[in-house]
Structure 1
Amino acid sequence: MTPFRECIEQSPRHDQVIRDCAVLIESFLTNAGGVRGFALRSAVQTAQRKRPDLLETASRRVLPECLDALDPIYQIWDVDTHEDFAVHLVDIHGNRAQQAIIAVIDRRAQASNHRMVQSIYGRMRDSAHRDVERVLPDFGRLLADELALQTQRA
């Protein structure tokens, strides 16, 4: 089976998938409540003043690593069963998928040269599992929709 990353990156809609991921992140930030949500939104808004394309750029950089991390789950998905990929990812392998995505984010945060990114992530890390759990269904749907479109084109 083709690697998951390759499936998405070779899609004619790859740039749209990146934009959709940025919208997903923006929606997550908008809906994040409380003081923590306010802190996240403020940090991102501050960074966006210098880089208006921040969320799209971040999506372009992080998505390939997330797809690589999710590849083992993708490889055991059997498209012929007509099981929806979002169901496969979220309902059947949700915990494994969350751990894979968090591992990617942890590595990215550790490797960052920006102290502000490391500081903010360090303070928010304890709730990362809950955050990924909240966004995983929408992320899974986004990926499933793209895979479905590819199947229709084939």
Structure 2
Amino acid sequence: MAGSLRDVLLSDENRDAFVADARRVLDEEVRAKRGPTGIMLKGAYKTVNAVHATFVNSVLRVLLPDFLEQLQPHWDAFTSAGKRDFGTFLAGRGDQAADGLLAIVDRRAEASAYRSVAKLYGQLRSQAHKHVVQALPRVGTLIQRGMAAAD
């Protein structure tokens, strides 16, 4: 599997399929949330999708290059170690991976022209780390599957 995550997964021939797969993973993660926080997240997600129908896909297209760059060292360590499951490997580095990904979202939210969405993100930010850590197994599987398909 040659090439960086960003170069391979966001190449002209792979980008649309990878973004669609990432959207499915995001939808699955939101759907899987339970309890009061899950209700809040589902409500926020539904609101964003209702107000800005293409917003989530647009945000994914903007964030994925930075996300993949942030996850590249984890992928390199995974491939060097000869491990089999990137989702499990990434989950084992949960705090570090989540902090890196959230730093990207924090910067983007701060500079966003969508003030209502940035405000909503700010209200949910205190719980974000936990949810990103919980999503890492699916994120790792998404990346590993995409890299294997491009091989």
Larger displacement relative to structure 2 (82-91 or 14-23): 82-91
- State the Cα deviation string for residues 89-111 of structure 1 (Å, max 9, x = none): 223x3322111111111112111
- State the Cα deviation string for residues 1-26 of structure 1 (Å, max 9, x = none): 63321121127332111011111111
Distance in 1 (alpha carbons) for counterparts of 2:141 and 2:12: 16
RMSD: 2.3
> Which residue of 1 is the match for residue 143 of structure 2?
143
Distance in 1 (alpha carbons) for counterparts of 2:137 and 2:149: 18
Which portions of structure 1, spanning 4 or more consecutive aligned residues, are displaced by more than 6 angstroms?
A: none
What number of residue pairs does the alignment pair up?
150
Distance in 2 (alpha carbons) for counterparts of 1:80 and 1:11: 29
Residue ranges of structure 2 left out of the alignment (5+ in a row)? none
Asked if 2 retains the 8 angstrom alpha-carbon contact of 1:11 and 1:150, the reply is no
- Secondary structure at 2:53's aligned position in 1? coil
Map 1:28-67; keep pairs closer than 5 Å. 28-67=29-68
Map 1:7-86; keep pairs closer than 5 Å. 7-10=8-11, 12-78=13-79, 81=82, 83-86=84-87
TM-score (norm 1): 0.82
Higher normalized contact order (CA 8 Å, seq sep 6+, divided by chain length): 2
Letter of the 1:81 partner, please give it: G
> Which residue of 2 is the match for residue 124 of structure 1?
124
- Secondary structure at 1:47's aligned position in 2? helix
TM-score (norm 2): 0.83
Asked if 1 retains the 8 angstrom alpha-carbon contact of 2:10 and 2:18, the reply is no
Q: CA deviation at 1:29?
A: 1.8
Q: State percent identity of aligned pairs.
A: 26
Asked if 2 retains the 8 angstrom alpha-carbon contact of 1:25 and 1:55, the reply is no
Map 1:88-107; keep pairs closer than 5 Å. 88-91=89-92, 93-107=93-107
Asked if 2 retains the 8 angstrom alpha-carbon contact of 1:5 and 1:67, the reply is yes
